[in-house]
Each structure stands twice: as structure tokens, then as C-alpha cells.
Amino acid sequence: MIRDALADAVLDALAALHVDPLPAQVNLERPARREHGDWSSNVALAAAKAAGRNPRELAAQLVEQLSANPPAHVVAVEIAGPGFVNFRLAPTWLHDVLTDVVDGGTEGYATTDAGGGERVQIEFVSANPTGPIHVGNGWFASYGDALGRVLTRTGHVVSREYYVNDTGGQIRALGASLLAHHKGEPVPEGGYPGEYVADLAKEYDGADDVTEAGQWAAERILGGIRATMESIHVHYDEWYSQASIEESSAVAETVEELRAKGLVTEEDGALWFESKEFGDPRERRVLRKSNGDYTYLAGDIAYHRNKFLIRGFDRVINVWGADHHGQVASLVAGVRALGIDADRIEVRLGQMISLASGRMGKRLGNVVNLDDVVADIGPDATRLLSLLTSIDQAVTIDLDKVRSHSKESPVFYVQYAHTRIASINRVAAERGVVRSPITDVDLGLLLHERELDVLRSLSELPDVIRIAAADRAPHKVATWVRELADRFHGFYHDCYVMGDGVSPELTQARLWLVESARIGFAIGLDLLGVSAPESM
RNA sequence: GCCCUCGUAGCUCAGUUGGAUAGAGCGACCGCCUCCUAAGCGGUAGGUCACAGGUUCAAUUCCUGUCGAGGGCGCCA
């Protein structure tokens, strides 16, 4: 990689200048402004103090040293500002990028094995099966899925899981609501008045038992949730039943394990977990109520014991809504108490989403089902919409605007760029233009700023993916793919691949540029789970 | 009261882990189709990066405080 070559050259130059101590790492970045060159380093600023030198002087010496023996592709090394060292490169470095992209292809370019085969489980959505998925509890479905794709590409082994809350009070409440509908009685307090319950009630012919009725309804609703997830290309490896944990001896075993460690006390007939010493801000939490039932927390700790100690995941990432924030510290305390390193569990809290029309709530009667959004704008736009922003951002979505501007949405912008690539290839085929092997093509003809901009974007993809994985921030891929689309539209507009005044040699070079862009779109869109259409 | 996540253009949001003159889309205004799809391209206008301190060569970015928004602090799940 060019960055490593430049960093090595800088280190060599620093050593030649007897800088002591040598910086552990040379920071190289792409300046925001073109005048500042293609690559820039702040190493003189960063290292000067420790070495007892003047930053600007050190930068000047560095420039002199590097200019005397410039690394490959470097045509000029300049000093700027308070002591930046700016590298100006020949376009050949970008032609090398093109070759790298084509050599790597969709499967290989911008991949790393940084994850080292780490087995990562991502649990996301996990909404209670008491009603259809709505835009609130389904918003981070694309996030969890895309994060999995990014982690897979960076060398992790990913498993996607939906924790099915198929037991407990809300299932009984669902059953009671179903039976009430069935008998034509009013839905009980705290029940589920939704239309879907009435519809299900018509089909129910089981026993007059709230648990049985609730489980029957939950199973049906879960089928709908699966279909919704599939419709936006989210495929789970596991739908894990909470009941299977609670009905096994797993919870009791987990509590026993904690008790054996001396972390459980009994008071008022309840069993308490001494959670504070494991980082819980609260002194202690109930594991088993005085009525003998285990709490949700006890079940959740048992569930995570299962994830780590039974199923052997190296790392667990839970994607939860911000309204579950209160559970995090207790769960992590429980996991730690079981002897599991705290940094193996991550809880990513997605901020609540709201509608421009106001708060969404079941009681307000303005719940928008995810299915309806998918039906309106399609799965691609639905996915990209939620992948444009960080999950730390409490977004406001205006569904009316999303609908009316769906033709101008980012997804069309990006997909349109991709169809233009397909279009170029179609026209080339019609005109009998065949792409020669890349080794026979003079990529040195690619000198137009628009062409170089496309290649600059492609050169950044490996970094983008690496950072998106490390930060658990797949939206960075979405930002990148929009930038690539922007650059490609510019190229398309200003640089004809075939046409008047375009030499056969230039056509060949541009066909390869187009191919490298195609690979970039294919990688980026696949990571986002958005389709890359051939025509629109 | 305490904890978490935030506060960037009229609106919705980016901002490469501290860099040089802070970006995009939508909305507004002005241009560009006899060649690969105008679902596109170019331009103009729009900012005290909530506010005040601190850290340093350098702060939208890190720290503290204030103000504001959302969320959380049960023997509910």
C-alpha cells in the first residue's frame, strides 16, 4: 500500500536526521484540499516536542531528506502551514489502485483478516412477538445486518441472532387479548387491541387458556416478523427462544453458579445478585422473586452464559434500543460475575427514532409498520434510509417526504450510477467494443480530474471498511458509496467512454476505470445489503 | 437527583478517532440534453459547529461546567 511506503520513507528520513525518540507511528492522511497534495503527514508537528526540535525546522529537514530520495510515485515533497509535510504524487499511484481493485475483484478488494476468525454473535431487533415490526423497533435491523456484513469482510465469523421473547407476562396478555376477541369481549387492560389480534382470533381454535393462546398467537406473529426481515434481506442464523432457556434448568444453574461464588444473598424471600462490585451502579438486583419466579435479568444472564460458555462465541454484540439502557450495567455485571471478560460483550444502543408527524406510540394509534414502508419505497430505500446515519443519532424521519421524494432519494442516486455502468457495458457490446486484458491497456491515459477522483474514492475503501468495522459503524460505508456515486456521475458526464474524439486507447483505459467503479459499487452496496441493479 | 446518547446550513444528516478555507441531500435561485439513461452535471445563496472555560503547535472533535433534546434509573419484560 502506498501509505505504508510513504510511512516507511518518513521513518527512514527521521532516523537519518537523528530524531530521537522516533515516533511509534507515522500518521498519513489525505488532505481535504487538493493544494495540500495527495498525502500529508503531521509527523513533524507530532514528533518535534519529544525530540526537542522546532516543528517547522524539522519539517524543512524532512522535506529536504525526502526530496533527495523520493519514494515511488512521489513527484514533490513540500512543507506547509505550521509544519505539515505534503506529498504530491504522480497519477500513476492511482493507476496502481485501479489494478489493485481489478485484481482483488468483488471478493477480494478491501478485505482484511484483521478479525482473525473471531466468532462474533450479533443479536438485533429481538422485538417481542406480540405485534408486527414497526419502524421503531425495526429501524436497526439493517444496522445489525450490515454490521455483520462488514465484520465478515474484515475476517470475523458472524452469527445473527433474534432473541424471541416467547414467554412471560406479555405473552399471556397477548393470549388474553386473543381470547377476548375470540369471545367478542373487550380487550383487557394492558392487552393488545390491534387489528392483527382480531384477525388471528378468527383462526384460533385452541383451548381457552391464555398461555396456550398467547404462544399460538406469538408463533403466528413471529412468522410475520420473519417475513418482514426477509423482505429487507435480513437473514438470521438463529431464532433463539427465551422459553427454551427458562424451561430448561439453565436459569437455575446460572443462579447456582453465582451463588457458589458467594454473590447471591437471600432476603424477604427473594434471591439477590450482589451486582455492584461488577460495575452496576445499583447495589444489588433481584434474580428470583419472592413468589419463586425468576426475573428477566436472571434469564438474560443465563442466556448470555449460554452464548459465551455453551455456544462459545468469542464476542457478543447486542443491538438494543436506548430504552433498554437500564439493563446494560446489570447484564454486564452478571456476565463478568460468571468470569467472562467484560470487553467480550458489547451493547450498542440505538437512539430512539421519531416521526416528523410526532411521537409514535401504540396508544397514539400512529404506529407505522415496517411492512408498509417497504411496500411504499421498496426494500433498498428502506435499508439505505436507516443506514445513512449513525445509530447514536436520534433521527427524525418524515415519511411523507420519504414517499414523495423517493425518486430523489440517495438510493436512486447510487443505483443510477451503477445502472450507468451497466449501460456503458451494454452499448460497448452493441458496438463490438471488447475490453482488452488490463496488462495490454495504457492506464496512464487516465489523467482527467474526474477519472482520478473516482480512483481516489476507490483507494479509500479499505480504510473505510476497516474503520466501519472497528467503530461498529456501517453507515460510513453508506457515506462512502454516495461519494463514489457522486464522483462517478461526474466522470460519466465529462468523460465519454465511447464517442467522438475518444481514442480507442482511451476507451480501453476508461472501460477498466468503469470496471473498477463497478467493483467498488458491488462491494459497497453488498455491505449495505442494497441491490445493484443493471437497469432502472 | 444520578446515569447514557446527543446539540453542525431553513429541514434531514455526514465530517476519515486532534489538522490547514466545516460538507452532502432536500428546499430556494440561475444555467446545461444532435454522442454511453437529465433518476444526471455545473453555479449562487445559506454557519458564532448550543454556550463558557480548559488541555496544545493546532479543538466541531478531547476534558469540565451551563443550557437544551431524547432515553434510562422496579421483586415489569
SS3 A432: coil
Name the residue closest to the C1' of B19 by its CA.
A42
The pLDDT tens digits for A116-152 are: 999 999 999 999 999 999 998 899 999 999 999 999 9
Q: Which residues pair with A134 in a beta bridge?
A: A369
Q: How confident is the model at residue A409 (pLDDT cuts 50, 70, 90)?
A: confident
Compute the radius of gyration of chain A from its Cα atoms: 29
What Å value separates CA A359 and C1' B69?
14
Return positions of chain B under 7 A from a protein CB. 2-7, 11-17, 19-27, 35-37, 39-42, 56-58, 69-77
What Å value separates CA A42 and C1' B60?
20
Which pLDDT score, from 0 to 100, does residue A359 have?
64
Tell me: pLDDT of A64 over 90: yes
Q: What is the DSSP annotation of A470-503?
A: HTT-THHHHHHHHHHHHHHHHHHHH--SSSTT--
Name the residue closest to the C1' of B33 by its CA.
A493
What Å value separates CA A402 and C1' B70?
22
Q: Which domains does chain A have, with CATH numbers?
A: 2-90 (3.30.1360.70), 125-260+296-399 (3.40.50.620), 404-528 (1.10.730.10)
Name the residue closest to the C1' of B7 by its CA.
A393
Average pLDDT over residues A55-70: 92
CA distance A269 to A283: 18
Cβ–Cβ under 8 Å, residues A280 and A330 = yes
Nearest nucleotide to A272 (CA to C1') is: B75
Nearest nucleotide to A492 (CA to C1') is: B36
Nearest nucleotide to A86 (CA to C1') is: B20
Which pLDDT score, from 0 to 100, does residue A397 have?
85
pTM for the predicted model, two decimal places: 0.95
What Å value separates CA A41 and C1' B67?
39
Instruction: Give the contacts of A134 (CB within 8 A, at least 6 positions apart).
Output: A360, A367, A368, A369, A370
Nearest nucleotide to A490 (CA to C1') is: B41
Nearest nucleotide to A389 (CA to C1') is: B13
What Å value separates CA A147 and C1' B11?
29
The pLDDT tens digits for A315-330 are: 999 999 999 999 999 9
Altogether, the residues listed in chain A come to a count of 536
CA distance A370 to A378: 11
ipTM score here? 0.94
Instruction: Give the contacts of A50 (CB within 8 A, at least 6 positions apart).
Output: A21, A23
How distant, in Å, are the alpha carbons of A158, A194, A217, A227, A450 from that of A132? Answer: 26, 10, 12, 10, 47
